[in-house]
A and B are shown apart, each in its own frame.
Chain A
């Protein structure tokens, strides 16, 4: 099943391309001349040892970091750097390595916050909780309920997320990202701290997200089995450099990758 899909993906247009990105903090060079692209509809993995610059790359893509050099092309528009607001309004959503939820709010409110940019009614109506605002709130609730169904979190709708176990928090975070109806979804280690069963659930959700919501996905993950199973193409970073880029099989056989992961006696 995965082979024809990969072929289809290869034929498809590029959704996002980063070119020659360099990012440094003071003397530390987090990314050096990194360039790769993400095609529409694919699941793209970014892997690499700790400190390789994976999260920095995601932060560049959604505008938290502004690279000193390079360009980001999203939906055909080339920019020097992104801004979080532009990224969000153009359809880039993300989750975080250490779950970043609104801990005091319920699951429902967390996911509803993902609808912020889709809500157009003037806040005056919201104040009255009446008229257009009411209709709008109901419409958005429907979208959110669909996502809640999809991720099987109906039972925790009203629970403050701070009280949820880690695995469920990760799922709520995914739900919030989906609520923004993203074209590109960035997942930063969606499966850390999960047991095998939870990982299987999450893998299923990621695949279904791509198929049902037409979302392109870029994910950082350490579990190689998961990466090989899920992804169409893999980019490998090491010490801020792109050392390999290709299908899972290609990357697996790459010498520099093996070297980076296992270390080689020089």
Chain B
């Protein structure tokens, strides 16, 4: 038994390196997508101190809306543009109807409000788009769907073009957001709001504008994540489970860190895939449902603030 746990999987990795590489690649793609979802959480948490419970459902909602629009006859790219507009309206709506009335309330109340938002979006989504799973309009959006083979270690790795596209888009998106929030005056304003609301107000930073920008960015990130995940499976509310995989990612990466979301995403994505393939048969299936949380917990024992989180030191 010990042999099976501690030796056999590694022997397997070493003897079939091409297969191992394939596992790594799939883990990497999964990780990049987790990172993309986690990024949505981190953006909102940084700017407003709220853990946005609705981030996962925003992913599903955006993807469903896109497919639904296409189904009722809107051309794919126009549907995409409409979805981006919809995320903007959602951001404005959330700011007006949820954040503004609750400003200065304890964080837990705002968190509860995002739970409310989650169920509102689920209800609204099922009402408009129906409950049955849909197929993502991958090809119509111009995302390649074929696959090709790479030769490595005397074997072949099969790479889906879709996965390559997902990785490239996600990485580009992360870079743009990182530059945006580090280099621009809006980024500085965002960090200011994250640190101290009152002080930010006193230098003339508008909380409302910053919140709308952040929720809109998180919405667009959700849309992209929804398209990519949807293309890999189906688009349905079951995707929400996947979206919640972002929770261990942000716990691991640190709630306030964009690099943390990326590295956390990759660790969870790759760790989960390796665990599933090599140890999964020993522990029974279903390992992918809890392994991510296990990895996050294991890391937390050593770094309670997450890998890149801000260390909380109270000066007494």
Point out residues on A near B: beta carbons under 8 Å.
Answer: 62-64, 84-85, 88-89, 93-94, 96, 100-105, 109, 112-114, 116-117, 119, 123, 126-127, 129, 176-177, 179-180
Contacts and interface: CB of A to CB of B under 8 A. Distances in A.
B198 interface: yes
B196 A100 contact: yes
Size band of the B side of the interface? Answer: 20 to 34
A88 B184 contact: no
Contact of B199 (A101, A127, A129): A101
B191 A105 contact: yes
B205 A113 contact: yes
Contacts of B301: none
A63 B202 CA distance: 9
A64 B188 contact: no
12 contacts: A64-B201, A96-B198, A96-B202, A101-B199, A104-B191, A104-B195, A105-B188, A123-B184, A123-B185, A126-B183, A126-B185, A179-B203
Nearest to A63: B201
A119 B196 contact: no
Contacts of A179: 203
Given A85-B206, A123-B186, 17 more contacts: A63-B201, A88-B204, A96-B198, A100-B202, A101-B196, A101-B199, A102-B195, A103-B195, A104-B194, A104-B195, A109-B191, A113-B200, A114-B203, A126-B183, A176-B199, A177-B203, A180-B203
B192 interface: yes
A196 B185 CA distance: 38
B180 A64 contact: no
- Most chain B Cβ neighbours within 10 Å, of A63, A84, A127: A84
Contacts, number: 83
B197 to A, nearest CB: 9
Contacts of B126: none
Contacts of B186: 123, 126
B179 interface: yes
A6 B183 CA distance: 46
Q: Which 10 A-B pairs have the closest CB atoms?
A: A88-B204, A126-B184, A100-B199, A102-B195, A84-B201, A117-B204, A100-B196, A113-B192, A102-B192, A114-B203
A89 B203 CA distance: 8
**Most chain A beta carbons < 10 A, residue from B189, B191, B201, B202:** B202
A85 B202 CA distance: 7
